[in-house]
Amino acid sequence: MLQIIGSIGAVSAGLDLGKEGPLVHIGSCIASLLGQGGPDNHRIKWRWLRYFNNDRDRRDLITCGAASGVCAAFRAPVGGVLFALEEVATWWRSALLWRTFFSTAIVVMVLRTFIEICNAGGCGLFGKGGLIMFDVSTVTVTYHMMDIIPVVVIGIIGGVLGSLYNFFLHKILRLYNLINQKGKVHKLLLSLSVSLFTSACLYGLPFLVECTPCDSSLAESVCPTNEGSGNFKQFNCPDGHYNDLATLLLATNDDAVRNIFSTTTSAEYHPISLLIFFALYCILGLFTFGIAVPTGLFLPIILMGSAYGRMLGIAMKSYTNIDQGLFAVLGAASLMAGSMRMTVSLCVIFLELTNNLLLLPITMIVLLIAKTVGDSFNPSIYEIILHLKGLPFLDAHPEPWMRNLTVGELADAKLPVVTLRGIETVERIVEVLRNTTHNGFPVIDDGVVPPVGLAVGATEVHGLILRAHLVHVLKKKWFQREKRRTEEWEVREKFTWVELAEREGKIEEVAVTSEEMEMYVDLHPLTNTTPYTVMESMSVAKAMVLFRQLGLRHLLIVPKYEAAGVPPVVGILTRQDLIAYNILNAFPHLTKPTSREKGN
């Protein structure tokens, strides 16, 4: 199963090298499709895939898909696993660690095979650079105690720049949302104008800078060149000269990174060219993300960061011995951490991209400083995008005002909880399903014959039944004329577990005759008899930890008081309720605090 995702992810790497956004997306989409048993509409649903059609496996598969995507984009298998762990998964369990590891191992095997097959050069640009994309392992990294100062400076500036990038991207994405809502023509025009602007800049800007004479120590075949890849592009320059801005702009992004990371080329780039490059990529990076085109975040940020790092390296030349290429690497790392706020995964991705283990200690420090500085300004770019898109993603950290709200109060603010009896009439089930949108209902039995020692007439919380199962019952017409408890074999005969794991089915598709309406359904065998519960006095913040750590969808709220008139279940809390803006809708007097107040 995982192999399949892995392999497809790796093959798609061949199509679109270095765009991590689309690749992560493709990986997750394939995984999600497989988790649903194949696409619905084209009759290519595979029967055996239905075994994965349940919430947990689907979520695991999507996590593996995202890890495979990162792995395929950066040829960074361990980095992919850690990216999935640190950024993607809201719910982590130990088995997921080796499962994602397994899928990235397969991806890297497939990649390695294709690189070997493509060694002859028949696959275009694919496979360039081998398994390590931006190799800087040949540099001897020499740094001393005093070099800690430039490293700290890189980290701080990177953190500030990263959070500025987040700030402006937020504004532009909100603008784009307005434009995109106006219709397809606007969407297309937006994309068109951005791509025209990009082309004009990429071709026009190199004319602004002066040509630089080639270093006489370089062979003529190396400088200048007009090849697709390589340093020292000739462009508009006379023989023996090269255009340094063209070297950066008129190459694939991968090549641009390789050129700007290249060490021992300290005189190659003029600070003005780097500044133009940096400013251009800031603008393009901001305006390109969000148009109707699959774009990534990683590579623009790496390019911006490396240009900034190299400029800083030139400025600090007299203070430090660290190579400018390494400054570029550190600059890229700092901007990534400043914007994405990851630590371990970025560190490993950078290690796997650059293959220089000796750089690890300073990379770690840069990442930590940039993350800390960035966190003091605004949330990470992923949180911003998730929030803007309105995706129901449960935040890792509860908002501070959630501590002052109990789940009981939250449940009171919602519509009253709808409960079903263990043996319920069809009419009531249809009515409940038609009039509510809840996905789960508590099943409560009145006046049951209780275990020994209790008064007759006890109320029993039998558990929680899912909407999907109720729809299944109606579809299969699993009705009976009299009120009676069913036997287990009856249920097993009627429903396979594959059917019960499916979450589809709409009440609108169900037709029930008026005669059937008066019949009964025994809900007991289809009820989850051990739902998770919380007491009504628990704070929303604490309940949120429960949702996040256990990967829950529903939580029954049990009363704190026990007395006549208190129902055994006072409410139901769903994952959806806990997404911050949903609570804000229910409690408009609670204002969203600034991110600075946000506890960690």
Q: Tell me whether residue 33 or residue 85 sits nearer to its own copies (CB atom).
A: 85
Stretch that binds its own copies, among 234-242, 480-488, 527-535, 576-584 (CB under 8 A): 527-535
**What one-letter code names the amino acid at 17?**
L
CA triple 519-530-583, angle to 5 deg: 90
Shortest distance (Å) from residue 215 CB to its own copies: 29
What residues from 376 to 405 belong to the interface with its own copies (CB under 8 A)?
Answer: 396
The yes or no reply on residue 207 touching its own copies (CB under 8 A) is: no
CA distance 523 to 434: 18
Q: Which one of 566, 581, 592, 593 is in contact with its own copies (CB under 8 A)?
A: 566
Q: Which one of 104, 212, 231, 339 is in contact with its own copies (CB under 8 A)?
A: 104
Stretch that binds its own copies, among 172-180, 383-391, 532-540, 572-580 (CB under 8 A): 532-540
Give me 592's structure tokens.
């969203």
Q: Which one of 42, 43, 47, 144 is in contact with its own copies (CB under 8 A)?
A: 144
Shortest distance (Å) from residue 542 CB to its own copies: 6
**What one-letter code names the amino acid at 131?**
L
Shortest distance (Å) from residue 5 CB to its own copies: 16
Shortest distance (Å) from residue 563 CB to its own copies: 3
H/E segment holding residue 533 = strand 533-535
The yes or no reply on residue 178 touching its own copies (CB under 8 A) is: no
The yes or no reply on residue 414 touching its own copies (CB under 8 A) is: no
- Sign of the Cα pseudo-torsion (449, 455, 459, 463, in order): negative
**CA distance between the termini of the chain:** 37
In contact, 242 and 223? CB cutoff 8 Å? yes
Nearest Cα neighbor of 16 from 72, 83, 68 is 72
Q: Which one of 537, 574, 576, 595 is in contact with its own copies (CB under 8 A)?
A: 537
Stretch that binds its own copies, among 90-98, 316-324, 423-431, 497-505 (CB under 8 A): 90-98
Other C-beta atoms closer than 10 Å to the C-beta of 598 total 16
Query: Going residue by residue from 24 to 63, which x/- string records binding to its own copies, judged by CB under 8 A?
Result: ----------------------------------------
Q: Residue 520 pairs with which residues in a beta bridge?
A: 425, 480
> At CB < 8 A and 24+ separation, what contacts does 379-382 make?
379/166, 379/341, 379/595, 379/598, 380/166, 380/339, 380/340, 380/341, 380/342, 381/165, 381/166, 381/169, 381/297, 381/339, 381/340, 381/341, 382/87, 382/340
Q: Regarding beta strands 571-574 and 554-558, do their DSSP bridges make them parallel or antiparallel, or are they unpaired? A: antiparallel
The yes or no reply on residue 568 touching its own copies (CB under 8 A) is: yes
The yes or no reply on residue 409 touching its own copies (CB under 8 A) is: no
What residues from 434 to 493 belong to the interface with its own copies (CB under 8 A)?
Answer: 448, 450-451, 453-455, 457-461, 463
Q: Which one of 530, 585, 591, 594 is in contact with its own copies (CB under 8 A)?
A: 530
Shortest distance (Å) from residue 163 CB to its own copies: 17
Shortest distance (Å) from residue 383 CB to its own copies: 12
DSSP string, 238-272: PTTEE-HHHHHHSS-HHHHHHHHH-SS-TTTS-HH
Q: Which one of 41, 46, 94, 482 is in contact with its own copies (CB under 8 A)?
A: 94
The yes or no reply on residue 6 touching its own copies (CB under 8 A) is: no
The yes or no reply on residue 132 touching its own copies (CB under 8 A) is: yes
DSSP string, 470-494: HHHHHHHT--BSS--PPPHHHHHHH
Number of residues in the chain: 600
Query: Going residue by residue from 327 to 356, which x/- string records binding to its own copies, judged by CB under 8 A?
Result: ----------------xx--xx--xx--x-
Shortest distance (Å) from residue 504 CB to its own copies: 26
Q: Which one of 92, 126, 495, 587 is in contact with its own copies (CB under 8 A)?
A: 92
The yes or no reply on residue 113 touching its own copies (CB under 8 A) is: yes
Give me 94's structure tokens.
């130990």
Shortest distance (Å) from residue 95 CB to its own copies: 6
Q: 452: Cβ–Cβ under 8 A, 6 or more apart, which residues?
A: none
Shortest distance (Å) from residue 386 CB to its own copies: 15
CA distance 528 to 532: 10
Shortest distance (Å) from residue 206 CB to its own copies: 34
The yes or no reply on residue 546 touching its own copies (CB under 8 A) is: yes
Q: Which one of 533, 574, 576, 595 is in contact with its own copies (CB under 8 A)?
A: 533
Q: Which one of 4, 38, 45, 112 is in contact with its own copies (CB under 8 A)?
A: 112
Stretch that binds its own copies, among 49-57, 82-90, 309-317, 319-327 (CB under 8 A): 82-90
Stretch that binds its own copies, among 258-266, 309-317, 501-509, 559-567 (CB under 8 A): 559-567
Shortest distance (Å) from residue 483 CB to its own copies: 20
The yes or no reply on residue 320 touching its own copies (CB under 8 A) is: no
Cβ-in-10-Å burial (0-12, 13-18, 19+) of 596 comes to: exposed
Q: Which one of 539, 573, 580, 583 is in contact with its own copies (CB under 8 A)?
A: 539
Shortest distance (Å) from residue 436 CB to its own copies: 24
DSSP letter at 573 equals: E
Q: Tell me whether residue 459 or residue 582 sits nearer to its own copies (CB atom).
A: 459
The yes or no reply on residue 120 touching its own copies (CB under 8 A) is: no
Stretch that binds its own copies, among 46-54, 102-110, 215-223, 314-322 (CB under 8 A): 102-110
- Sign of the Cα pseudo-torsion (550, 551, 556, 557, in order): positive
The yes or no reply on residue 564 touching its own copies (CB under 8 A) is: yes
In contact, 363 and 303? CB cutoff 8 Å? no
The yes or no reply on residue 371 touching its own copies (CB under 8 A) is: yes
Other C-beta atoms closer than 10 Å to the C-beta of 12 total 20
Q: Tell me whether residue 434 or residue 560 sits nearer to its own copies (CB atom).
A: 560
Q: 121: Cβ–Cβ under 8 A, 6 or more apart, which residues?
A: none
| Binding residues with its own copies: total (CB under 8 A) | 79
3-state secondary structure 117-159: HHHHCCCCCCCCCCCCCCCCCCCCCCCCHHHHHHHHHHHHHHH
Tell me the backbone φ, ψ of residue 122, rounded to 5 degrees: -85, 0
The yes or no reply on residue 364 touching its own copies (CB under 8 A) is: yes
The yes or no reply on residue 11 touching its own copies (CB under 8 A) is: no
